[in-house]
Amino acid sequence: MVREDHPPPGIEPLEWLLLTDLPATTPEEIDRVVDAYKCRWRIEEFFRTTKDAMKLEGSELDDPLATARLLFFVTLKAVFLDELRLLAEIPAGTPPSKEQRQEMVQGAKQAIEIERERSGRGIPPPELSQRTRARMTMGLIAKYGRWTAKSGVSLGNYVLLAGLPIFLHDISEGRFAWLLEDLG
């Protein structure tokens, strides 16, 4: 039985009953089993993203090279969004808390203002924590994806996938790259 010691504010702590044939008698072995289960959940989220949100199984490509390219880019998108959620501490499938919603909305506005002030002036970006930049980035991508930030509305992959191409276009044009520095 595993219980989360420090859940996010306002969230019930997770309790898992894990059945395993792996050794789990020492604290180190128990940690290894729990870490493996956490990875499994991230893998399930990855496949859900590629199958449901990106409709990978619906591809009608019959050329192996084209299919490999599609899989490569779908994987990059899914891994990027998964890593961004992890750094922003906003779990997939869970509506962001009021604090998280406000931080993402304000973060997107702040990122746009910082970019406007820096544009063509050579002004260095502000020193921000990794979590803050991740939430700013998610807020900006969500804004591009037309996320409403209403209470109880999950920040799903459909919204993020709709905003991601716009964000990537901004990056290719030299805007907002400072948000991604040292994000992992």
Spans of all domains in the chain:
54-180
Does the pTM exceed 0.85? no
Q: Phi, psi at residue 2, to the nearest 5°?
A: -120, 135
Confidence of residue 134 (pLDDT cuts 50, 70, 90): very high
**% of the chain at pLDDT higher than 90:** 26
Which has the closest alpha carbon to 16: 3, 35, 31? Answer: 3
Q: How far is CA 74 from CA 49, 54, 132, 159, in A?
A: 9, 7, 26, 15
Distance CA 128, CA 110 (A): 12
Q: For residue 114, which amino acid is it?
A: I
Highest mean pLDDT among 35-39, 64-68, 167-171: 167-171
7 pLDDT tier (thresholds 50, 70, 90): confident
Average pLDDT over the chain, rounded to an integer? 85
